[in-house]
């Protein structure tokens, strides 16, 4: 599983057998061939999807360039809307 959760930062939600993982796509250059390949690089590991999404929203808040409290709230609300949109897609799949 590899779900894009943030286009701007190229963040993905993925998982292994035990964890939910927030990862980023980074270009990695092969030392032998010089070829550049986009590679998923783990950033944070979580035991629940809820914890992963909470971490994502906190990351967006901490990295906000807002200069006012309202601006920060707007940035956090945008991140929450993004999480809700992903949750809605998951609900559609379950139907």
Total number of domains constituting the chain: 1
Domain span including residue 41: 2-94
How far, in Å, CA of 25 to CA of 38, rounded?
6
How far, in Å, CA of 50 to CA of 81, rounded?
14
The pLDDT tens digits for 73-83 are: 999 999 999 88
Six token digits for residue 16: 């292994």
The pLDDT tens digits for 5-56 are: 888 889 999 999 999 999 999 999 988 999 999 999 999 999 998 899 999 9
Collapsing DSSP states into helix, strand and coil, what is residue 3? strand
> In sequence order, what E strands does 1-95 have?
2-6, 11-15, 20-29, 36-46
The pLDDT tens digits for 4-17 are: 888 888 999 999 99
Prediction pTM value: 0.77
Torsion of Cα atoms, 64 then 65 then 69 then 73, to 10°: -40
Collapsing DSSP states into helix, strand and coil, what is residue 22? strand
Residue 34 falls in which region: left (phi positive, over 0), alpha (psi -120 to 50) or beta: left
């Amino acid at each position: 599983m590899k779900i894009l959760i943030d286009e701007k930062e190229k963040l993905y939600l993925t998982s292994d057998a035990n964890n939910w993982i927030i990862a980023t796509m980074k270009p990695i250059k092969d030392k032998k061939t010089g070829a550049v390949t986009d590679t998923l690089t783990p950033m944070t590991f979580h035991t629940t999807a809820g914890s992963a999404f909470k971490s994502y929203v906190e990351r967006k808040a901490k990295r906000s360039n807002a200069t006012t409290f309202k601006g920060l709230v707007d940035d956090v609300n945008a991140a929450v809307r993004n999480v809700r949109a992903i949750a809605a897609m998951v609900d559609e799949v379950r139907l």
